Chain A
Amino acid sequence: MLETDVLIIGGGPAGMCAAIEAAKLGVKTTVVEDKDRLGGQLVKQTHQFFGSEKHHAGVRGIDIGVKLAGECSDLKVNALTNTTCTGIFDDGSVGCLRGEEFFLIHPKRIVIATGAYENMLPFPDCDLPGVYGAGGLQTLMNVDGVLPGKTYLMVGAGNIGLIVSYQLMQAGAEVVAIVEALDRVGGYEVHAAKVKRMGVPIFLRHTVTHVSGDGKVERATISKIDGSFKPVPGSEFTVSVDAVCLAVGLSPLIELIAQAGCETRYIPECAGHVAVHDSNMRTSLEHIFVAGDASGIEEASAAMVEGRIAGLHAALDVTHGKADSNELLREFDSQLDELRTGPFGQKARQGKSKLWGLKLPPDEEFEEAPPIIPESGKKPVIECPQNIPCNPCAVSCPTESITIGDNITNFPVLDQGTCNGCGNCVAACPGLAVFLVNRDYSDREAEITIPWELTPPPEKGDKGYALDRTGVAICPATVTKIRRVKKIDKKRLLVAFTVPLDKADEARHFVIVEPKGAEKIETLPPADDIIICRCEDVTQKEILDCFNSGYKSFDEIKRYLRTGMGPCQGKTCQRLILGILARELKTHVSELAPQTVRTPMKPTELEIYASSKEIEPWDFENWQPPGGGH
């Protein structure tokens, strides 16, 4: 049994920041993390963060993770890695599983920062090997160094779908297409631009209808969908792929929150059921706080600030408010406000407003970005068309020629008069959205400098093709220079190549071999049913039959079909089944009861429980009932 003042469950961005703030107040702080290191999702995030300096803008996620873990270690935070919290009990103790040991932690305060889990998209044969969640694929690729397929179909054009597509190509895989059910790209346009100019088509209002193959994914069929997300007959086509990657959203992971007995509520803008919490991140149970994706899906930058708020309040409870942290708390609040401004912060703003009973903030529309197209000389072209909260271009500029202004979601403004064409902004932009265009390179040629993060990089003198913003080869190009701006980013290269002068405003990528588009192949008929609960092999048809027999809630269907009774305890199927029920009952998921969550969160061997030191060993030879009872 381990005593601690503040226990943080989950060592991701929110959890680490909670630990840092709690430890800074001098209280005994413990983090429980089920992976072998602190970092959470950061350990696989090879892209740079947006935001401002205090949100680690321009730093790669993986480096932010290392930095925060270092701070935790400097502050003597007790980090228990490879440890899973399997239950929170009414006597205040927290059950933990570490290797072969089940033990308890007795904290005074708990911060639950368990993050999120990936949504599953059900379609015929969606359980064929080769269908991956984007997060899982990212772990395989960026943490374990395994690329499980060569050609991919990406489903979902949110930030995760776009980023993972880009990373797949960085790893040498081919992404034949990205399909997106909505009529717009959900992620940042700059992330979409990165993959589009590399030749990946993004099909809006399209989805994957089914996959097929002999024991593994070999082909994926794509279809146009109508306004009610139904496939349009006759519009389907099939591509040859060996993997389909699903990036169709995240749901807050609230198992422990629900099992502990915290009140939960379905908030669509938070992407699912979340713990009811106040702006101090305190749940309905006084001793439990929540932070990060578990309290509503947002970017990691917001998770980190939420973690700081939760950690600080948890520690203040323990010190009975002795430290004066008001100024710090105001600072955190204003940081969160900043991150939640603009159209991309809208969902988070509205979700939290609902939770806190505030008036819903109005919808914000994207502004039209002013084009910055220099006419002569060597100047940056900033292709940043959305109000992203981000400023590294301005911060990196040595001549202060790029300015953002007070509001971090403003568009960058370039003063061409003072700009010296150094290219720092090309190296700094986390969205890879700044290009250097030198129209004075020669009489007939312009030189384009682009940010480059692929391997192998081209070499000086390489001849190839320039691609336009949609990935179409438009003209021959020759590499003139490869360099790095080490003080800004040690890894990213700047590749300069020449194109005919009239292509200066079109050429945005360089390849040596001309790309070819994906070939369409024969469509096979889909399987006639869809697996919904993978642990217990329950299909959509069985669920509908059960519903039609009168069992109209998740808990009833669970009892008759065993959905959610497997090792994952409904992580995958609960969301899908509630969706089916809502559709059939013509109601909203928020009106339906989720299942009751049970300990243990992770299947635990009988022998591990039996050998726990939390109860004195028993003498079966001279059996005395424990406590002299039964």
Chain B
Amino acid sequence: MRKTAKVVIIGAGCTGAAAAYQLAVKHGEKDVVMVEKDFLAAGATGRCGGGMRQQWSTRGNIRLAQRSISAFKNFQDETGQDCEFWEGGYLLPAWNEEMVEHHHTNIKLQNEENVPSRFVTPEEIKDIAPILDTTRMLGGAYCPTDGKANPFLVVKGWCERAADAGVEINVRTEVTGFKTSGDKVTHVETSRGTIECECVINAAGGHSGVIGKMLGLDLPVAPERHQILVTEPVKHCHDPMVIDLRHNIYFSQANHGSFISGHTDYGVQSSFNIRNNWQFPIQLSRKLCYLAPPLKRLKVVRIWAGLYTMTPDAQPIIGPTPEYPNFLNAIGFSGHGFMLSPVTGTILAELITQGKVTVCPIQEFDIRRFKDGTAGTREANVV
């Protein structure tokens, strides 16, 4: 393992991988070492549903998502790796007037940012997603340019190209501490040695708070278990990712043919626990059978869980830490790190190589917002 590097990236999930790729391949900064305590995509990236959407309720999230989706679209051309990108759209049903109103408000905001989302009638929903029972739906928000991709293949593509460009990727290498000098982090200590560096990216996902603690930082992130299930594969019969905010569930059909679905646990407490409980498959199956009755004879083959890293406003923290300006966070994506990872990588690379960000405004993601009271409204479109 190298003893020095300009940039040390902690974590080889989608965020770390995107940063490595952007730095080395797109921004000419090849002096990068990546350290990962397990293996590529072993954490939340490898456990997520793989969806990506622009239908958000805050302008900041909309902008990040929009730029990310175009990057996923061009992924194969850029990296040579097929990431199974599928533009199947996202559909968010509305069950009452309040939800109709909520969707209309968001669609207006999204359209202002040139996201082609629109309100669809129950009849249109029947065309978009014939397996849905639309009887009690009043319509829904739909964006045809949302989609999904395979998170493993995305991380693989980025990491392989980054490695080709000279990034050293160290898996099974755990960060154990830091050395600092004044307000500068000077060394990253790992289970396999110490690396002297000019800059550190904390992309440790669910464990980013633990990394912060090693520097005495109390990062406002809380890991939270989210369970997810997958069914046996069937012939392709369903295009969009469905997000039902009323019933707290999302589901889609993967490239492989299986249906993947999850929800936010009822009464979940922050912890690192990613073991499953017996309630989850019962609760989720009820909702899935209610929404899409033709799926009811499908068999669940596996249930797992991963960590959402929640922030108080369910929006990410991206950028330098006031206490240590050369310690950059890209954390707290609150369940949406994968879909935002391409632009996050670009932001981090621009910050490091140019000292400023041009791809989109990032003041909304500044960690200081929680202390100085400038945090905006909480992102409402979260499952």
A is bound by B: yes
Q: A556-573: contact bitstring with B at CB < 8 Å (1 yes, 0 no)?
A: 100110100111010000
Q: Are B295 and A606 in contact (CB under 8 A)?
A: yes
The interface residues of chain B lying within 8 Å CB-to-CB of A104 are 278
Q: Which residue of B lies closest to A567 (CB)?
A: B301
Q: Does A341 contact B (CB under 8 A)?
A: no
Within 8 A of B (CB), among A602-626: 603-610, 612, 614-615, 618, 620-621, 623, 625-626
State which of A102, A566, A626 has its C-beta within 8 Å of the C-beta of B266.
A626
Say whether, besides A603-B300, A605-B298, A623-B246, A559 and B41 are in contact (CB < 8 Å).
yes
CA distance A90 to B160 in the complex (A): 39
Quick check: which of B284-292, B343-351, B362-370 contacts chain A, the rest being far away? Answer: B284-292
Q: Are A95 and B278 in contact (CB under 8 A)?
A: yes
Q: Which residue of A lies closest to B96 (CB)?
A: A623
Say whether, besides A559-B41, A600-B303, A630-B264, A606 and B296 are in contact (CB < 8 Å).
yes
Q: Are B300 and A90 in contact (CB under 8 A)?
A: no
Q: Are A607 and B297 in contact (CB under 8 A)?
A: yes
Q: Are B156 and A627 in contact (CB under 8 A)?
A: no
The interface residues of chain B lying within 8 Å CB-to-CB of A551 are 39-40
State which of A553, A555, A599, A609 has its C-beta within 8 Å of the C-beta of B285.
A609
Q: Does A528 contact B (CB under 8 A)?
A: no
Q: Are A606 and B288 in contact (CB under 8 A)?
A: yes
Q: Are B300 and A604 in contact (CB under 8 A)?
A: yes
The interface residues of chain B lying within 8 Å CB-to-CB of A569 are 301-302
Q: Does B304 contact A (CB under 8 A)?
A: yes
Number of B residues, CB within 8 Å of A: 45
Q: Are A610 and B300 in contact (CB under 8 A)?
A: no
Q: Does B181 contact A (CB under 8 A)?
A: no
Q: B13-42: contact bitstring with A at CB < 8 Å (1 yes, 0 no)?
A: 000000000000000000000000001111
Q: Are B282 and A91 in contact (CB under 8 A)?
A: no
Q: Does B281 contact A (CB under 8 A)?
A: yes
Q: Are B301 and A606 in contact (CB under 8 A)?
A: no
Q: Are A615 and B283 in contact (CB under 8 A)?
A: yes
Q: Which residue of B lies closest to A561 (CB)?
A: B152
Q: Are A567 and B232 in contact (CB under 8 A)?
A: yes
Q: Are B278 and A625 in contact (CB under 8 A)?
A: no
CA distance A242 to B302 in the complex (A): 36
Within 8 A of B (CB), among A85-113: 87, 89-91, 93, 95, 102, 104
Q: Are A89 and B285 in contact (CB under 8 A)?
A: no
CA distance A629 to B277 in the complex (A): 17
Q: Are A605 and B39 in contact (CB under 8 A)?
A: no
Minimum C-beta distance from B36 to chain A (A): 11
Within 8 A of B (CB), among A561-594: 562, 565-567, 569
Q: Which residue of A lies closest to B46 (CB)?
A: A559
State which of B95, B289, B304 has its C-beta within 8 Å of the C-beta of A607.
B289
Q: Which residue of B lies closest to A613 (CB)?
A: B282
Q: Are A610 and B296 in contact (CB under 8 A)?
A: yes
Q: Does B275 contact A (CB under 8 A)?
A: yes
Q: Which residue of B lies closest to A556 (CB)?
A: B39
Q: Does A261 contact B (CB under 8 A)?
A: yes
Q: Are B40 and A556 in contact (CB under 8 A)?
A: yes
The interface residues of chain B lying within 8 Å CB-to-CB of A604 are 281, 299-300
The interface residues of chain A lying within 8 Å CB-to-CB of B41 are 559
The interface residues of chain B lying within 8 Å CB-to-CB of A625 are 248, 266
State which of B246, B248, B267, B299 has its C-beta within 8 Å of the C-beta of A605.
B299
Q: Does A520 contact B (CB under 8 A)?
A: no
Q: Are B267 and A89 in contact (CB under 8 A)?
A: no
Q: Does A483 contact B (CB under 8 A)?
A: no
State which of A549, A562, A610 has its C-beta within 8 Å of the C-beta of B286.
A610
Q: Are A606 and B266 in contact (CB under 8 A)?
A: no
Q: Are A627 and B278 in contact (CB under 8 A)?
A: no
Q: Are A627 and B266 in contact (CB under 8 A)?
A: yes
Q: A540-562: contact bitstring with B at CB < 8 Å (1 yes, 0 no)?
A: 00000000010101011001101
Q: Does A491 contact B (CB under 8 A)?
A: no
Q: Are A87 and B278 in contact (CB under 8 A)?
A: yes
Within 8 A of A (CB), among B238-294: 246-248, 256, 264, 266-267, 275-279, 281-286, 288-290
Q: Are A606 and B42 in contact (CB under 8 A)?
A: no
Q: B142-168: contact bitstring with A at CB < 8 Å (1 yes, 0 no)?
A: 000000000011001000100000000
The interface residues of chain A lying within 8 Å CB-to-CB of B231 are 606
Q: Which residue of A lies closest to B290 (CB)?
A: A620
Q: Are B282 and A603 in contact (CB under 8 A)?
A: no
State which of A556, A615, A620, A630 has its C-beta within 8 Å of the C-beta of B282.
A615
Q: Which residue of B lies closest to A600 (CB)?
A: B300
Say whether, besides A555-B42, A610-B286, A612-B282, A90 and B275 are in contact (CB < 8 Å).
yes
The interface residues of chain A lying within 8 Å CB-to-CB of B303 are 598-600
Q: Are B278 and A626 in contact (CB under 8 A)?
A: no
The interface residues of chain B lying within 8 Å CB-to-CB of A630 are 248, 264, 266
Q: Are A606 and B298 in contact (CB under 8 A)?
A: yes
Minimum C-beta distance from A620 to chain B (A): 5
Say whether, besides A603-B232, A615-B279, A630-B264, A598 and B302 are in contact (CB < 8 Å).
yes
The interface residues of chain A lying within 8 Å CB-to-CB of B46 are 559
Q: Are A606 and B285 in contact (CB under 8 A)?
A: yes
Say whether, besides A567-B301, A607-B297, A629-B266, A600 and B281 are in contact (CB < 8 Å).
yes
Q: Are B276 and A610 in contact (CB under 8 A)?
A: no
The interface residues of chain A lying within 8 Å CB-to-CB of B296 are 605-607, 610
Minimum C-beta distance from B381 to chain A (A): 13
The interface residues of chain A lying within 8 Å CB-to-CB of B298 are 605-606
Q: Are B282 and A102 in contact (CB under 8 A)?
A: yes
CA distance A626 to B279 in the complex (A): 11
The interface residues of chain B lying within 8 Å CB-to-CB of A559 are 41, 46, 152
Minimum C-beta distance from A445 to chain B (A): 66
Q: Which residue of A lies closest to B274 (CB)?
A: A596
The interface residues of chain B lying within 8 Å CB-to-CB of A565 are 230, 301-302
CA distance A555 to B156 in the complex (A): 14
Q: A555, A598, A614 — which one has the most chain B CB atoms within 10 A of its CB?
A: A598
Say whether, besides A610-B289, A630-B266, A89 and B277 are in contact (CB < 8 Å).
yes
Minimum C-beta distance from A159 to chain B (A): 34
CA distance A609 to B301 in the complex (A): 12
The interface residues of chain A lying within 8 Å CB-to-CB of B230 are 565
The interface residues of chain A lying within 8 Å CB-to-CB of B290 are 620
The interface residues of chain B lying within 8 Å CB-to-CB of A549 are 160
Say whether, besides A599-B276, A630-B248, A606 and B283 are in contact (CB < 8 Å).
no
The interface residues of chain A lying within 8 Å CB-to-CB of B299 are 567, 603-606
CA distance A567 to B285 in the complex (A): 18
Within 8 A of B (CB), among A430-449: none
The interface residues of chain B lying within 8 Å CB-to-CB of A629 are 266-267
CA distance A562 to B42 in the complex (A): 14
CA distance A624 to B298 in the complex (A): 26
Q: Are B276 and A87 in contact (CB under 8 A)?
A: yes
The interface residues of chain A lying within 8 Å CB-to-CB of B285 are 606-610
State which of A93, A603, A618 has its C-beta within 8 Å of the C-beta of B301.
A603
Minimum C-beta distance from A585 to chain B (A): 13
The interface residues of chain B lying within 8 Å CB-to-CB of A612 are 282
The interface residues of chain B lying within 8 Å CB-to-CB of A614 are 278, 282
The interface residues of chain A lying within 8 Å CB-to-CB of B160 are 549
Q: A279-320: contact bitstring with B at CB < 8 Å (1 yes, 0 no)?
A: 000000000000000000000000000000000000000000
Q: Could you list some 14 contacts between A and B, CB below 8 A?
A: A551-B39, A553-B39, A555-B42, A560-B153, A562-B256, A566-B301, A567-B301, A569-B302, A599-B278, A600-B301, A606-B298, A609-B281, A610-B288, A623-B247
Q: Which 5 A-B pairs have the closest CB atoms?
A: A603-B299, A609-B285, A607-B296, A610-B285, A606-B285
Residues in B lying within 8 Å of A, measured CB to CB: 39-42, 46, 95, 136, 152-153, 156, 160, 230-232, 246-248, 256, 264, 266-267, 275-279, 281-286, 288-290, 295-304
Residues in A lying within 8 Å of B, measured CB to CB: 87, 89-91, 93, 95, 102, 104, 261, 549, 551, 553, 555-556, 559-560, 562, 565-567, 569, 596, 598-600, 603-610, 612, 614-615, 618, 620-621, 623, 625-627, 629-630
Given contacts A102-B282, A610-B285, 6 further A-B contacts (CB under 8 A): A556-B39, A567-B301, A600-B302, A600-B303, A603-B300, A623-B247
